[in-house]
Structure 1
Amino acid sequence: MWEQHLIETSRGTFEVFVKGSGTPLCITHNYSSFNTSGDYFANTFIENHRVFLVNLRECGNSPKVKHSYQLGLLETVFDLEAIREGLGFEKWSYAGHSTGGILGIIYGIYFSESLNFEIIVGAAARDYMTFSKNCIYNNEHPHFEKMQNLFKSLKNKNLSVDIRNELKIERTKLSLYSPNKYEDYFSLNIAKDMSASRLNFFDREIQLFDVTRKLKFISAPTLIICGKYDVQCPVEYSIEMNELISTSKLVIMDESNHYPFLEEKERFLKEYRTFLDEITI
């Protein structure tokens, strides 16, 4: 189990779950709410780092918002910086998957001096839905309607626990290269919730999101990893980020969709450890 800590900062008291040993590594997701059961992505790094899994505002026992803008990406990065300072670290590193990766991009743009390195997995530096037919949230994607229907069904508050879990599994399988391996990938007793308020705010913010022209400001060593068949943040957005970040390295996972750290776990670990060997902390 992960250890729960409440970290006092200049911006409030945040709930953080801690596990592992080594240099400090921050991990979060823009609208997931974590608990002591941890997180599959975060588990990837506990052998090499002391991982700090952060509940953002409106998640778990972290602060509630007083103003809606506090749910924004930049404000969230300000919160992460306050948590780093509250923990007493001059520097730490950051790893993020999906919208957690998007937060990492913002973090690197504005606070590279606070980061030893970044790992960005299955993310994008701009709206990834409107212009890519490879994105499952684009209405021209062949599985768009199926995904939308699943989201609609999951909003039904009267669903039984079993049916809700079945729908969540079906939704996740749409983002796997080999859906039949779902039980192998997600075999641990890990459960997390979702902050509806954070998700709703993000759904609006992403429509105007584009920081590609600011990627040149990222100076921290950055490992970008993406599944070749990622249907959520298609691989072209990782290629774009790599072209615009001078300190980045790109790895494309040939047999992965949106979860390369599970779908090709051994290769993911190898690439990540190679990256650590290549940089100086």
Structure 2
Amino acid sequence: MVMSYWKTKIIETARGEFEVFVKGEGTPICVTHHYSEFNHTGDYFADSFTENNRVYLVNLKGAGNSRKPMESHELSMFDAVYDLESIREALGYSKWSYAGHSTGGMIGVLYGIHFSSSLNSLIIVGSAARKYANSSPDCIYHPDHPQFDSMQQLIEMLKRSDLTASERERLSKERTKLSLFHPDKYDEYFSVGIHKKMSAPRMNFFIREEMIFDVTRELRKISAKPLIISGRYDVQCPLSFSVEMNELIPESQLFIFNKSNHYPFLEEKPLFRQVISTYLKETGSI
């Protein structure tokens, strides 16, 4: 398969410079993740939207070539929302859409609470509106989960800066396989040469922030009519957290992928793209 790289841009905003990767044509959709460092190879989740939309894949502060944080709070999810708003304004859009997977979805929840007026649509995949690690033994980050120790060891090893490319690739593969409904299909799902790093400072900040994160009482403020998606067997952000969001957000809709873990956009790719396409058409975002 011939790979189509993303175009790299540096966006000057009122809150500093941000490295953004752009692909596709059409109405704009922003995608980011709390502690991923993206590059020109893109992102599997973001690729789900490039067929019908112009996608902006954002490196947040401290990731890639985006501005380094001056204060620790700049690594927070709350600050990330304001940074995304500054990028939208710098690009000249009165509104755009936002799609986030996992911690990117948590940022999306905050975005919807504080800036629904800036959003044509909001897609939240495999995520939560409150701390999940210690809230459910179904979560792989809960000490009672049978694969807790394996996941923690892999995360700590991936934080090391002295890893060779092959070592990082091997560890990332093993970490991801823990969150697949069919781990044996890893090579099939991740067959394109997309690669990214983990920002250790952002990850370390998130671990602390997640322990006190709970915006469930504010979910009623979201007016963007979000699409909430979950894999039935998600071990990172279990299905119960998506059900909770759907119950508390006015006019939201929930779609459950019955043969997926944490990556429905790969595990049930055709259905995933059909579901998001239908939703984006309904919201006038295609």
Structure 1 residue 85 corresponds to structure 2 residue 107? no
Shift of the 86–188 alpha-carbon distance from structure 1 to 2, 3 Å rule, reads same
Choose from 133, 137, 140 the match for 2:141: 137
Contact 1:116–1:221 (CA under 8 A) maintained in structure 2? no
Aligned partner of residue 198 in structure 1, secondary structure? helix
Structure 1 residue 39 corresponds to structure 2 residue 43? yes
Choose from 85, 94, 101 the match for 2:98: 94
Choose from 98, 117, 124 the match for 1:120: 124
Choose from 238, 245, 255 the match for 1:241: 245
TM-score w.r.t. structure 2 length? 0.95
Q: Aligned residue pairs: how many?
A: 281
Contact 1:218–1:247 (CA under 8 A) maintained in structure 2? no
Aligned partner of residue 13 in structure 1, secondary structure? strand
- CA deviations on 1:130-174 (whole Å, 9 max, x unpaired) are 110100000111111221222234345554433332222111100
Match of 1:188 in 2: 192
The 1-side partners of 2:114 and 2:252 are apart by: 16
Contact 1:112–1:219 (CA under 8 A) maintained in structure 2? yes
The 2-side partners of 1:278 and 1:160 are apart by: 46
TM-align CA RMSD: 1.2
4+ residue stretches of structure 1 with deviation over 6 A? none
Structure 1 residue 28 corresponds to structure 2 residue 32? yes
- CA deviations on 1:106-144 (whole Å, 9 max, x unpaired) are 000000000000010000000011110100000111111
Please, which runs of 5 or more residues in structure 2 have no aligned partner? none
Structure 1 residue 178 corresponds to structure 2 residue 182? yes
Choose from 106, 110, 115 the match for 1:106: 110
The 1-side partners of 2:163 and 2:89 are apart by: 42
Match of 1:205 in 2: 209
Percent identity, aligned pairs only, is 58
Structure 1 residue 9 corresponds to structure 2 residue 13? yes
Contact 1:29–1:97 (CA under 8 A) maintained in structure 2? yes
What's the offset of the Cα at 1:99? 0.4
The 2-side partners of 1:29 and 1:3 are apart by: 18
The 2-side partners of 1:157 and 1:36 are apart by: 21
The 2-side partners of 1:89 and 1:63 are apart by: 22
Structure 1 residue 167 corresponds to structure 2 residue 171? yes
The 1-side partners of 2:198 and 2:128 are apart by: 21
Please, which runs of 5 or more residues in structure 1 have no aligned partner? none
TM-score w.r.t. structure 1 length? 0.97
The 2-side partners of 1:11 and 1:169 are apart by: 35
